[in-house]
Structure 1
Amino acid sequence: MKYKLHTDIAFAGISHHNSDISELEKFRFEEETEILNDAREHFKGVVLLQTCNRIEIFVQGDAESLKKYLKEKGRTGFWIKEGCEALKHLLYLAAGMDSMIVGEDQILGQLRKALALSQEKGTSCPVLDLCITKAVHAGIEVRKRTNINNGAVSIGSAAVKLAEELIGTLSGKHILVVGGGEMGKLVAQALSAKELTAIYVTNRTFNRAKLLAEEIGGKAVMMDELYHYISLSDVVISCTGAPHPVIKAEPLTDALDKIRWPLDETKRPLILIDIAQPRDIEEKVKEIESVKLFTIDDLKSVSDENMKLRRKEAENAEKYLLEEHRQFISLINRAAANEPLADLHTWAEAIRVRERDRAVSRIGKTQYSVSEVIDDLTKVLVKKLLSDATIAVRGCAESGDIRSAENLVLAITRGKTCTRKEDLED
C-alpha cells in the first residue's frame, strides 16, 4: 500500500553526510530568533535545528517555497525532503540513525531544544509540534527496543578517542577542556575514565567550569588563563558555543614560546581538537610549528568504526521505524482534519447561539429558567448533530483522504460539495 501525506511539510538542510565543516559554517544562521521570525512570515510554522554537524529547517509548507526561501537567504547545496519522506527522515534523525555517531543520544535533547525555542518565539505550529514530539518519542522507544545506543559514543567521547589514537595513550597526559556546556560535559566524562595526570576545565562562566571540574576530579581555571593552560597541555579539546574563535594563532604562539626551554631544539607537540560549530580555533593555528589541529571532519573514521559495530542493531531499529512511519503518516493526516473541523464547529456554534437568542426572545425576559433549559437543549442538540459528522471527517483524514474531509465540511456548512477539477482528478 502506498501512503500519502495530505499536509504540506518540508524539511531542508545540510549535514556531515554531504558537507564539511567550512560549508556548515557558511550555511549556519547566526541569529536563530531572527530567522525563525522571518521564516514564519512565509510558512504556517517553522523549527530550526542547528548542531555541530547539521543545520536543518522544518516548515509546514511546500518544498518549492522552502527551496526558494533558502536561496533568497543565500543558502545553496542543501537537500530537501517533503511529505512522507520528510517524516521518515525525522524518525531516523531522532533514532540516531542519521547521526555521525550512530545511536548517539544527544540528538533527542537537540530536537527538544529546537522545538522549545520555536514554541517560545511563537513560530511553531500544531503540525510541527506533533511531528517533533512523535519523532522524539519514537527515538526513545527504538533505543529501548534495540541495542543501537549500547556503548554508543558521542561526538565528545569520539574526540577523546581520536586524541588517544593520535598520541598512543592518554595515560600521564595533561588535557584541557574548553567549554562547560553539554558537549564539554561529555568530553570531560569520557576523559575522567583515563589515567590522566591532570584535567583542566575552563569556561566563560567560571562557576560552570568549577562544577564540571568537581564532578570529574579536575581543576577549573579562569578563561583569562586560557593560553597559559594550553601551553601546559598535551591535548586541548574545545567545544564552546561562542560565535567567534576563542583560541587564536598569535596569542597561542606567544604562549608556546614562553614555555620553551633554551636548550630545546623543538617545541613539545600540541594536539588541538575543535568540535565546536562555529569553530572555536582559528585556521591559522595550523601554521604554528608542532601544533596539530583537528576538527569534526576528522571524527568520521571513528564514526565508520561505530557504524560497523551497530549495523545489526540498525537493521532491527529500521524495522521498528518503518512501522512507526506508517503510524506517523496516519497521525499527521488525522491532525490535518483539525482546521476544517474547527470551521465546522464554529459554524454550528453560530447557529446554536442564533437559535437560542430567538427562542429566548419569544419566551420573554422574565423566564430565566426556561432560557437556561433552552440553552442546555441547544448545546446537546448541536453536540449530537455534529458527533457523526466529526467521526466521518476524522475517518477520512486518518485514511489519507483529507480532500473528502474538507468536502464533507463544505457540504454541511454551505450545502454543496467542492467540484474543482483537481479534486475530481484525485
Structure 2
Amino acid sequence: MNKHTSRIAIAGVSHHTADVMALEAFRFGDEPAFLAAAQKKFHGVLLLQTCNRVEVIVEGDAGSLREFLEEHGRKGFFLLEGREALHHLLSLAAGIESMIVGEDQIIGQLKKALADGEAAGTASTFLALCINKAVHVGIGVRKNTRINRGAVSVGSAAVLLAESEIGTLEGRHILVVGSGEMGLLVAQALAAKQLTAMYVANRTFGRAVKLAEKIGGKAVRMNELYRYITLSDVVISCTSAPHPVIHRQPLKEAMLARCWPVEGHPRPLIIVDIAQPRDVEEGAGAIDGVRLFTIDDLRQVNEQTMSTRRAEAERAAAYVNDELELFIRQLHRKSADDCIAALHTWAEAVRLRERDKALARLASADDRTIEVIDDLSRVLTKKILTDATASIRTCAEEGDRSTAEALVQALIRGTTVNDPLEHPETPE
C-alpha cells in the first residue's frame, strides 16, 4: 500500500449495521473534548456525526484507531484504511452510503466536520485534501447523474412516513420540534401539504420565529410544548439537544387531554423522532395513543424510493471509482514529488560544493567565468538527474514508493537497489 494512501483510516457505525440505540451508544457527546484527546494520538482527526452515522476520520493507521476507540469504550465499529477508506469517503459524499440514497445533506455535513476540525486545530492538511476531494466528487456525482432527482432527505422521509401512517396530512395540525437544518428540511416538506396548522418549537425562540416565518407557521416556546402536542396530529422532532426534550410523564398527561369523550382513549398521536441522540424519552412509545417512530423506521422509505434510483446509484458508483483512481494518482504524484525533492536537494548541495571548489582553484576568476561555471554545473546536474528523476517518478506514481525511495538512496548514499520483486508492494 502506498505511503500516502495508507495515511487515512476511518472507523465508526452507521445505519447499515447499527440501530438507533447502537448509534447513540457510539456517539461522542463532547466533540471538542474528543478531538482534543484524539489529537494527542493522530496527526489529524475529524469527527462526522449525523442522525444515522458516527465516523472518526484520522491521518494515521487503522490499528492505532482501533486501539484508541476501544480505550474510549467503543465497540462493534467498522474499520477501513487506505484505498478502502478513501473509496468510502468518496461514496459517502456521493450519497451512495446514505440511508436515503442521493440525499444532499451529507455534503454540508462533511464540510462541517472539516470546519469543526479546523476550528479545533485537528484538521491536518492531508485530511483537508481528502474531504475537499470528497465534496468535489459529491457535487460532480449530482451534476453528472440523476441520483438526487426525486430523492428525499431524512427530514422529508419523516414527513412521508407520517403521511403513510395517518393517510393524509391535509387538514392536519403538525408540530416540528427543532429549527436547525433538519427542522428546515422537515418544514419545507410539510409546506407542500395542505395543513390546517404548522407549529415550530425550538429552545431558542428567535430561531423558531425565523423558521415559522419562512414556511407560514406559528412559533412556539418550549414551555408551551405539551400544550401544542395536545393540539397536534403529528410531531416530528429533530433537535440537536444532547438529552430528551419530550419526556414521558408530561407527554402522558398531554395525551389525557386528547381523550375521546365516550371511549376514554386519546386521539392517536404520531411522533417521528429523527434526532440523534433521541429527542423522545425512553418508554414514551408505550403511552396509550402514542405511535412512536425513529430513524430506524425510515429505512422502509428508502426501500420504496430506491428502486427508481438504483440505476443512477450504479452510475454514481462508476463515477466514484473513476475519481478515486484520479485521486490516488494525485497522491502518488505528491509521493513522487517528495522523493524527487530529496534527490534534488542532495544534488544541489553537491553541485554548490564542487562549484565552489573549482572557483577556489580559479582565485582570480572574473564575474563572467564564475557565471559560466555556475551555469555549467547547473546544466550538468540537471541532465545527469533526468533519467533518474523519470524512473523515480514512474515508480512513485505507480504506487511503488519503496523502489522510488531505494533509487533515491542508491544515488544519495550509494546503497544497492534491490529487485522490487523481492519486496512486492501490497496491492492498492
Q: TM-score, normalised by structure 2?
A: 0.86
Query: How far apart, CA to CA, are the structure 1 residues paired with 2:145 and 2:57?
Result: 28
* Structure 2 gaps, min length 5: none
Q: For structure 1, which segment, 330-339 or 83-92, has the greater mean C-alpha deviation from structure 2 after superposition?
A: 330-339
Q: Does structure 2 retain, via aligned residues, the 8 Å contact 1:131–1:332?
A: no
Q: Offset at 1:424?
A: 3.9
Query: How far apart, CA to CA, are the structure 2 residues paired with 1:66 and 1:422?
Result: 31
Q: 3-state SS of the aligned residue for 1:278?
A: coil
Matches within 5 A, 1:328-343: 328-337=327-336, 339-340=338-339, 343=342
**Structure 2 partner of 1:192:** 191
Q: Does structure 2 retain, via aligned residues, the 8 Å contact 1:176–1:235?
A: yes
Query: How far apart, CA to CA, are the structure 2 residues paired with 1:42 and 1:94?
Result: 26
Query: Residues 114-163 of structure 1: CA distance to partner in whole angstroms, max 9, x if unpaired?
Result: 12222222222233222221121111111111111101100000000000
CA RMSD of aligned residues (A): 3.5
Rate the CA distance shift 1:373–1:73 in 2: closer, same or farther, 3 A. farther
- Aligned residue type for 1:269: P
Q: Does structure 1 retain, via aligned residues, the 8 Å contact 2:45–2:124?
A: yes
Q: Does structure 1 retain, via aligned residues, the 8 Å contact 2:13–2:55?
A: yes
Rate the CA distance shift 1:415–1:232 in 2: closer, same or farther, 3 A. same
Query: Residues 11-56 of structure 1: CA distance to partner in whole angstroms, max 9, x if unpaired?
Result: 2211111010000111111122222232233233222211110111
Q: Does structure 2 retain, via aligned residues, the 8 Å contact 1:334–1:395?
A: no
Q: Does structure 1 retain, via aligned residues, the 8 Å contact 2:177–2:237?
A: yes
- Aligned residue type for 2:292: L
Query: How far apart, CA to CA, are the structure 1 residues paired with 2:28 and 2:280?
Result: 19
Query: Residues 339-384 of structure 1: CA distance to partner in whole angstroms, max 9, x if unpaired?
Result: 54565566577779989999999999xx9xx999999999999999
Rate the CA distance shift 1:391–1:208 in 2: closer, same or farther, 3 A. farther
Matches within 5 A, 1:265-284: 265-284=264-283
**Structure 1 partner of 2:144:** 145
Rate the CA distance shift 1:12–1:420 in 2: closer, same or farther, 3 A. farther
**Structure 2 partner of 1:40:** 39
Q: Offset at 1:103?
A: 0.7
Query: Residues 301-353 of structure 1: CA distance to partner in whole angstroms, max 9, x if unpaired?
Result: 10111211111111222222222222222122223345545655665777799
Q: Offset at 1:404?
A: 2.5
Rate the CA distance shift 1:179–1:384 in 2: closer, same or farther, 3 A. farther
Rate the CA distance shift 1:355–1:25 in 2: closer, same or farther, 3 A. farther
Query: How far apart, CA to CA, are the structure 2 residues paired with 1:268 and 1:168?
Result: 15
Q: Offset at 1:262?
A: 6.0
In the alignment, does 2:162 pair up with 1:163? Answer: yes
- Aligned residue type for 1:53: N
**Structure 2 partner of 1:303:** 302
**Structure 1 partner of 2:293:** 294
Matches within 5 A, 1:5-154: 7-154=6-153
Q: Does structure 1 retain, via aligned residues, the 8 Å contact 2:2–2:401?
A: no
In the alignment, does 2:401 pair up with 1:402? Answer: yes
Q: 3-state SS of the aligned residue for 2:87?
A: helix
Q: For structure 1, which segment, 167-176 or 335-344, has the greater mean C-alpha deviation from structure 2 after superposition?
A: 335-344
Q: Offset at 1:111?
A: 1.1
Q: 3-state SS of the aligned residue for 2:293?
A: strand
- Aligned residue type for 1:117: D
**Structure 2 partner of 1:242:** 241
Query: How far apart, CA to CA, are the structure 1 residues paired with 2:146 and 2:30?
Result: 37
Query: How far apart, CA to CA, are the structure 1 residues paired with 2:120 and 2:171?
Result: 48
Query: How far apart, CA to CA, are the structure 2 residues paired with 1:167 and 1:20?
Result: 24
Q: Offset at 1:425?
A: 5.0
Rate the CA distance shift 1:104–1:360 in 2: closer, same or farther, 3 A. farther
Q: Offset at 1:112?
A: 1.2
- Aligned residue type for 1:214: E
Q: 3-state SS of the aligned residue for 1:336?
A: helix
Q: Offset at 1:405?
A: 2.6
Q: Does structure 2 retain, via aligned residues, the 8 Å contact 1:111–1:136?
A: yes
Q: TM-score, normalised by structure 1?
A: 0.87
Q: For structure 1, which segment, 237-246 or 69-78, has the greater mean C-alpha deviation from structure 2 after superposition?
A: 69-78
Q: Does structure 1 retain, via aligned residues, the 8 Å contact 2:260–2:267?
A: no
Q: 3-state SS of the aligned residue for 1:202?
A: strand
Q: Does structure 1 retain, via aligned residues, the 8 Å contact 2:178–2:202?
A: yes
**Structure 2 partner of 1:221:** 220
